[in-house]
């Protein structure tokens, strides 16, 4: 039988959205369901890896055979991942992390005012960038959700965030990407490496992505 290419490797996958609290009953978030990230974690587990799945709030069953750490906000996700990073072989950032959070968390439920209202937002920490800056031996894989110029922006993110690969998805179509069961991606790597994957179920895509990446890295037995 084929030996498991990720046996003995520590892989962390982040999945799902984050929730940024506004007041005790409200938050900002996005439409990530966690399906793509969970599929990546399961695919890594099935290739023999010791997997930690850092998950934002999602409505999916907890996968077995891995450690699942639930987080809510971008800041919590950042702290958990940074804490584990030194010890990892591969970090895969599938989560759709909020770029902004409300600047002032209201301790009491906000009351309706007369007329319109505005809210001040501040930037969250860019986790992928922080991992890229701190990278030593780890293989760092990011995702990118774009609605236009997908490959161009993905190449930009690859460089700015010092990632080894970016999985770029076109989220301009509602039948794939956020929330859907299928996804259509282009894998972008250094030296202009590019490989397109046709539309397929996220579970199958996750396996194919890991296979292509591990072959390219010479880690596929
Ligand atoms: O969860 P699903 O419904 O299955 O949908 C899957 C998905 C569309 C969410 C997924 O495939 C995907 O594209 N995830 C990344 C979405 C995203 O946040 O893209 P981005 O282009 O905004 O961010 C680029 C990268 O930086 C991502 O790896 C992201 O995790 C990371 N990031 C972003 C902001 C931030 N503050 N910290 C980060 O680490």
Domain ranges, residue 179: 10-108+120-215
Q: What single string gives the DSSP state of each residue in the chain? A: -PPPTTTT-EEEEEESB--EEEETTEEE-----SHHHHHHHHHHHHTT-EEEEEE-S--SPPPSSSEEEE--SHHHHHHHHHHHHTT-SEEEE--B--SEEESS--SSPPPP-SS-----EEEPP-HHHHHHHH-SS-EEEEEEEESSSHHHHHHHHHHHTT-SEEEEEE-SSTTSSTT-SEEEEEEEETTTEEEEEEEEEHHHHHHHHHHHHHHHTT---
- The answer to whether position 221 is within a domain reads no
Chain segment 116-171, per-residue pLDDT in tens: 999 999 999 999 999 999 999 999 999 999 888 999 999 999 999 999 999 999 88
pLDDT tier at 175 (50, 70, 90 boundaries)?
Answer: confident
Give the CATH number, domain containing residue 199. 3.40.50.10300
- Which residue's CA is the closest to the ligand 1 atom numbered 10? 94
- Asked if residue 171 has its Cβ within 6 Å of ligand 1, the reply is yes
Chain segment 198-212, per-residue pLDDT in tens: 999 999 999 999 999
- The answer to whether position 2 is within a domain reads no
- The answer to whether position 135 is within a domain reads yes
- Which residue's CA is the closest to the ligand 1 atom numbered 13? 145
pLDDT at 173: 78
Considering the chain, what percentage of its residues have pLDDT values greater than 70? 99
- The answer to whether position 113 is within a domain reads no
- The answer to whether position 3 is within a domain reads no
pLDDT at 1: 47
Q: Is pLDDT of 17 > 50? A: yes
Whether 30 is catalytic:
yes
Mean pLDDT of the chain: 95
- The answer to whether position 185 is within a domain reads yes
Our mutation pick for probing the ligand 1 site, out of 76, 125, 142, 153, counting the most ligand atoms within 8 A of Cβ, is 142
Chain segment 67-110, per-residue pLDDT in tens: 999 999 999 999 999 999 999 999 999 999 999 999 999 999 99
pLDDT tier at 2 (50, 70, 90 boundaries)?
Answer: low
pLDDT tier at 197 (50, 70, 90 boundaries)?
Answer: very high
pLDDT at 3: 85
The structural domain count of the chain equals 1
Which atom of ligand 1 sits closest to the CA of residue 168?
A: 13
- The answer to whether position 134 is within a domain reads yes
- The answer to whether position 97 is within a domain reads yes
């Amino acid at each position: 039988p084929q030996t498991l290419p990720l046996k003995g490797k520590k892989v962390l996958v982040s999945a799902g959205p984050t929730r940024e609290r506004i007041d005790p009953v409200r938050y900002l978030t996005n439409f990530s369901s966690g399906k793509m990230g969970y599929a990546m974690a399961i695919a890594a587990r099935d290739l023999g890896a010791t997997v930690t799945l850092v998950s934002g709030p999602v409505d999916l069953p907890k996968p077995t055979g891995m450690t699942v750490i639930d987080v809510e906000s971008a800041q919590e996700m950042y702290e958990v991942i940074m804490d584990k990073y030194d010890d990892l072989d591969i970090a895969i950032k599938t989560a759709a992390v909020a770029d902004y959070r409300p600047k002032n968390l209201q301790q009491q439920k906000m009351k309706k005012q007369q007329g319109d209202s505005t809210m001040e937002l501040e930037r969250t920490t860019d986790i992928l960038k922080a991992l890229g800056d701190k990278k030593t031996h780890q293989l760092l894989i990011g995702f990118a959700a774009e609605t236009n110029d997908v490959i161009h922006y993905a190449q930009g993110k690859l460089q700015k965030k010092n990632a080894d690969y970016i999985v770029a998805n076109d989220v301009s179509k509602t039948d794939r990407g956020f929330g859907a069961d299928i996804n259509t991606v282009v894998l972008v790597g250094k030296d202009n490496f590019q490989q397109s994957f046709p539309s397929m179920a996220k579970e199958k895509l996750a396996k194919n992505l890991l296979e292509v990446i591990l072959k390219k890295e010479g880690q596929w037995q």
